[in-house]
Amino acid sequence: MKHEIKPLIEEIPYRQRVWITGFLKTTISSGLIATGIVSIFAGIIDHPLLKGYHEIGILVGATSIGLSIILITFIDHYDEKKKKEELEIIDSKIEDKAEEVARKLVDKELEKILEECK
């Protein structure tokens, strides 16, 4: 009875995690932060103390930056959860591998004993 242990690369969905926590998080949060900063500066420049009345730009900017902070927090929480899952898989693999090695050593010793008995 052979017990086959799959490689970690097949067990851990690393590519999905990298795309979500790397590319997606960076792209969206950078866009939101840039929009927020531009909107805030535009709102300040057009503020009543200077000329015009565009406090909506400041509000949109602050909202955009707030959304980016929420997004980063959400994705970092997701990343932490997935990392814990990965570590659990690794621990499981280590235990499985240890059992496999122990089983092989026991089988080898049993074979020696059987050979000596003959």
Q: What is the pTM of this model?
A: 0.62
| Per-block mean pLDDT, blocks of 10 residues, the chain (118 long) | 65 76 85 86 67 70 89 90 87 88 90 83
pLDDT of amino acid 43 = 75
List CB contacts of 3: < 8 A, sequence separation 6 or more: 96, 99, 100, 103
DSSP state for residue 2 in the 8-state scheme:
-
Q: What is the structure's pLDDT at 70?
A: 93
**Domain-wise residue ranges, the chain:** 13-90
What Å distances lie between residue 16 and 10, 19, 99, 111, CA to CA? 13, 5, 30, 46
